[in-house]
A and B are shown apart, each in its own frame.
Chain A
Amino acid sequence: MNQLTVSGISKSIGNSQLLTDVSFSPIPGEILGLIGPNGAGKTTLLEAMAGLVPVDSGTIKISDTPIALSSRKKYIWYQPDDIQPYAQQRVSTTLTFFCQSFGQDESTLEYLMQNLDLTPVLAKKFQELSKGYCRRVLLTIALLSRQPLLLLDEPFDGFDLRQTLSVMNLLRKTRAGRTFILSIHQLTEAERICDRFLLLAEGKVLAFGTLSELRGHVNRPETATLEDIFLAIA
């Protein structure tokens, strides 16, 4: 995939400034963590990138060419958290629909369902699922998508440690050259999976880089965790 650049995104609602001049460039194929406390603007930034909320200013570019709103879906798939797509339908029906819509073959769906242990809930309706299973179904839909940039909002929320590790493993295995941007507020999980980090607070970029670069940025030793760095910056 060509270089994607997020350039100067600002978004406000009334007097509240949700994002202020956010700019960054993910490296193709990396897993980029969008780190910040609740209300930092992570979800708004992901939705702005996907073109699901209007912005006051800023552009998304591919190889220095701005991508129009109608073309974003060719490059970006955004998986929101806390949604219930086709809540009254069976999980198997919904997953098959998205599998066919993305033009994926059934074996891909089978593979994902097996790895995310969805077999017990396939006959259930989405609205009957526990929070953990909802997340797994949403993750399956996201991984069925074929866009080169995948934006995942809080993908590990609601998972226990074992499940989180299993999902991280699956993300790495299914990456296949795609760029992932994960919005995460649990710093330990972020440190485990992400290649680079974008630290966000009150809609502003505090720092951007690898863990090692961030340590250097705040003059912390090699043993400093992401949590230490975030506390030092925020």
Chain B
Amino acid sequence: MQSPEPHTSHPPGITRLVLIQEIRSLLLSPALWIMLIIVSALVGYSFMQAVSLFSQASKTALDYPELATGMSPFSGIFVPTFGAYYLCQTLLLPFIAIRSIGLDKYNGTLKLLVQLPLSPFQLCGVKLVAMICVWLASLIPAVLVILLWKSAGGFIFWPEIFCLLTGHALYSLTVITLAMFAATVTDALPTAAMFCLAATLGSWVLDFAVSGKADLLAFWENISLTGMLRQFENGLLSSTHLVSFLSIALLFFVFTVIWLHPGEVIQRKILKTFVCIIGFVIINAGTQLAPRFVDLTENKHHSFPAQYTTALQQLDKPLTITINLSPQDSRLLDLKQDVLGKLQRTVPHLQVHYTTGTSGLFSKENDENYGLIQYRYANKTETSYSNSQEEILPIIFSLAGITPAKATSNSPKGHPLVTEIPKGKIIFYLALPLFFTGLAGYFRKNT
């Protein structure tokens, strides 16, 4: 009956068999269906709230066309709606991912799986693919949101949606691999959950902690999960954040592969982990050297007009900007959003210095230079209190002795819409939850 020779022949499709088995396990897990029901309700609530607020703002905007320019469905509808996904990805998705490895460890299935003709890489890959399927299933409410918004006559700029989805996909991927790693290195499911939440919620909490520290903030936004997601929510696709997200996800996935096999000696696991961390640092440092950005917003919100961009890219000497503003000052926030960020993505050699500390909003009010921004290029210096692009760019061009071509207007059109989603409550609070409950019952009976 059995072959007495080494079992070297792999049955065809062993990876597929294990994947099907993994998906079966997930379909029988109440946690999956509970998550999908909660996602439906949360996404539905966020969407209807966003539509209501957008409609109210649109009523005013329709009377005053200049206000309409700020009415963007991307930031008004889709970003807040996907905020519900952020909650679910942070608080619910890790539990499903932890379960996919943790339960196998707990009930002993893992001891059999590691003996099948699959490498730990393949085994973890199968589990990751199954979890990606879970994430795709969780997008069903998002698809309905898009359909409902479109059917209500709403405007959709697809590159913006693509950017937002990419950000959430990468965030979810990172959370999934982090949770898988947590489940691999801990002995109990609650410990793994705490480990995972400490990383995701910790990242969110630290966002607040560094918000008053301008120098730290710039660095932190490049490594914080929420900070990186925010860039995608702004419609800005950046190579730095793309690579950072992917490399963090890959790092935790590789950690999971390394630590999954119970028979490997711990010293070797630690050594491999250390090598991976070095590789991770090198990849990210390399990406920081030559960042690339693609502005996917409809109105090119994150870019200067093309003529100005071309002129700024010609600055071959370092441009130094020294800012005397408190980190919490709203003028600094506007300056960063409207000018500094764009300059950092355009000017080849830009240095930004802050001369104020972190002592608070009113601490520098007696400083007569407070609010002053100094621009230095090729030993020439100019100062200004302005934080407006229209006043700052001429200063820089003057210092550099460049006269750019006249820029064409880049002003946004705006897409105000007064609407309501009459069937929203039935769809998101009743039909979708019932649909998921029915599917859960079906799989429980037939799997």
- Residues of A at under 8 Å CB distance from B? 1, 28-29, 47, 50-54, 69-70, 72-78, 80, 82-90, 93, 97-98, 100-103, 108, 111, 141, 143, 145-148, 174, 176-178
Q: Is the CB of A97 within 8 A of B29?
A: no
Q: Is the CB of A1 within 8 A of B4?
A: yes
Q: Which residue of the partner chain, among A47, A52, A146, contacts B2 with CB atoms under 8 Å?
A: A146
Q: Is the CB of A178 within 8 A of B112?
A: no
Q: Is the CB of B262 within 8 A of A102?
A: no
Q: Is the CB of B1 within 8 A of A74?
A: no
- Complex interface: chain A residues within 8 A of B119 (CB): 70
Q: How far is the CA of A102 from the CA of B28 in the complex (A)?
A: 24
Chain B facing A: main interface SS: loop
Shortest beta-carbon distance, A154 to chain B, in Å?
14
Q: Is the CB of B11 within 8 A of A93?
A: no
Shortest beta-carbon distance, A169 to chain B, in Å?
15
Q: Which residue of the partner chain, among A53, A84, A90, A111, contacts B108 with CB atoms under 8 Å?
A: A84
Q: Is the CB of A147 within 8 A of B1?
A: no
B422 in the interface, Cβ–Cβ < 8 Å?
Answer: no
- Of the candidate stretches B156-164, B225-233, B263-271, B290-298, the one touching chain A is B263-271
Q: Which residue of the partner chain, among A70, A90, A101, contacts B18 with CB atoms under 8 Å?
A: A101
Q: How far is the CA of A87 from the CA of B115 in the complex (A)?
A: 18
Q: Is the CB of B107 within 8 A of A54?
A: no
Q: Is the CB of B115 within 8 A of A50?
A: yes
Q: Is the CB of B8 within 8 A of A74?
A: yes
Q: How far is the CA of A72 from the CA of B263 in the complex (A)?
A: 11
Minimal Cβ-Cβ distance residue in B for A174 = B1
Q: Is the CB of A97 within 8 A of B17?
A: yes
Q: A52-B262, A53-B263, A97-B21 are in contact. Are A85 and B108 (CB under 8 A)?
A: yes
Q: How far is the CA of A93 from the CA of B116 in the complex (A)?
A: 17
Q: A1-B4, A101-B116, A146-B3 are in contact. Are A93 and B24 (CB under 8 A)?
A: yes
- Complex interface: chain B residues within 8 A of A141 (CB): 112
Q: How far is the CA of A70 from the CA of B6 in the complex (A)?
A: 13
Minimal Cβ-Cβ distance residue in B for A80 = B111
Q: How far is the CA of A52 from the CA of B265 in the complex (A)?
A: 10
Q: Which residue of the partner chain, among A47, A52, A82, A89, contacts B25 with CB atoms under 8 Å?
A: A89
Q: Which residue of the partner chain, among B10, B21, B29, B263, contacts A69 with CB atoms under 8 Å?
A: B263
Extra inter-chain contacts (11) besides given A54-B263, A88-B29, A111-B1, CB under 8 Å: A52-B263, A54-B264, A74-B7, A80-B111, A84-B107, A89-B447, A101-B18, A101-B116, A147-B7, A148-B4, A177-B2
Q: Which residue of the partner chain, among B3, B111, B262, contacts A83 with CB atoms under 8 Å?
A: B111
Q: How far is the CA of A146 from the CA of B115 in the complex (A)?
A: 12
Q: A77-B115, A89-B24 are in contact. Are A83 and B107 (CB under 8 A)?
A: yes
B357 in the interface, Cβ–Cβ < 8 Å?
Answer: no
- Complex interface: chain B residues within 8 A of A76 (CB): 115
Q: Which residue of the partner chain, among A1, A53, A86, contacts B262 with CB atoms under 8 Å?
A: A53
Q: Is the CB of B264 within 8 A of A101?
A: no
- Complex interface: chain A residues within 8 A of B265 (CB): 54
- Residues of B at under 8 Å CB distance from A? 1-11, 14, 17-18, 21, 24-25, 28-29, 107-109, 111-112, 114-117, 119, 261-266, 447
Q: Which residue of the partner chain, among B29, B109, B117, contacts A73 with CB atoms under 8 Å?
A: B117
Minimal Cβ-Cβ distance residue in A for B268 = A54
Q: A77-B115, A85-B109, A176-B2 are in contact. Are A101 and B14 (CB under 8 A)?
A: yes
- Complex interface: chain A residues within 8 A of B28 (CB): 88-89
Q: How far is the CA of A77 from the CA of B2 in the complex (A)?
A: 12
Q: A74-B8, A147-B7 are in contact. Are A52 and B266 (CB under 8 A)?
A: no
Q: How far is the CA of A28 from the CA of B107 in the complex (A)?
A: 32
Q: Is the CB of B1 within 8 A of A108?
A: yes
Q: Is the CB of B11 within 8 A of A102?
A: yes
Q: How far is the CA of A101 from the CA of B173 in the complex (A)?
A: 28
Q: How far is the CA of A219 from the CA of B115 in the complex (A)?
A: 42
- Complex interface: chain A residues within 8 A of B21 (CB): 86, 89, 97
Q: Is the CB of B109 within 8 A of A86?
A: yes
- Complex interface: chain B residues within 8 A of A146 (CB): 2-3, 7
Minimal Cβ-Cβ distance residue in A for B267 = A54
Q: Is the CB of A176 within 8 A of B108?
A: no
Q: How far is the CA of A147 from the CA of B3 in the complex (A)?
A: 7
Q: A86-B21, A88-B25, A103-B9 are in contact. Are A176 and B263 (CB under 8 A)?
A: no
Please provide the 8 A-B residue pairs with the shortest distance between their CB atoms, ordered closest to farther.
A83-B108, A177-B4, A103-B11, A51-B263, A54-B265, A84-B107, A85-B109, A74-B6
- Complex interface: chain A residues within 8 A of B3 (CB): 146, 148
- Complex interface: chain B residues within 8 A of A108 (CB): 1
Q: How far is the CA of A157 from the CA of B315 in the complex (A)?
A: 80
- Complex interface: chain A residues within 8 A of B10 (CB): 103
Shortest beta-carbon distance, A128 to chain B, in Å?
13
- Complex interface: chain B residues within 8 A of A86 (CB): 21, 24-25, 107, 109
Q: How far is the CA of A88 from the CA of B3 in the complex (A)?
A: 31
Q: How far is the CA of A101 from the CA of B4 in the complex (A)?
A: 17
- Complex interface: chain A residues within 8 A of B111 (CB): 52, 78, 80, 83
Shortest beta-carbon distance, B342 to chain A, in Å?
52
Q: Is the CB of B6 within 8 A of A80?
A: no
Q: How far is the CA of A86 from the CA of B18 in the complex (A)?
A: 11
Minimal Cβ-Cβ distance residue in A for B20 = A97
Minimal Cβ-Cβ distance residue in B for A75 = B6
Q: How far is the CA of A50 from the CA of B114 in the complex (A)?
A: 10
| 18 cross-chain CB contacts under 8 A | A52-B115, A54-B264, A69-B261, A69-B264, A73-B115, A74-B6, A80-B108, A85-B108, A86-B24, A88-B28, A89-B21, A89-B24, A93-B24, A100-B17, A101-B116, A103-B11, A145-B7, A148-B7
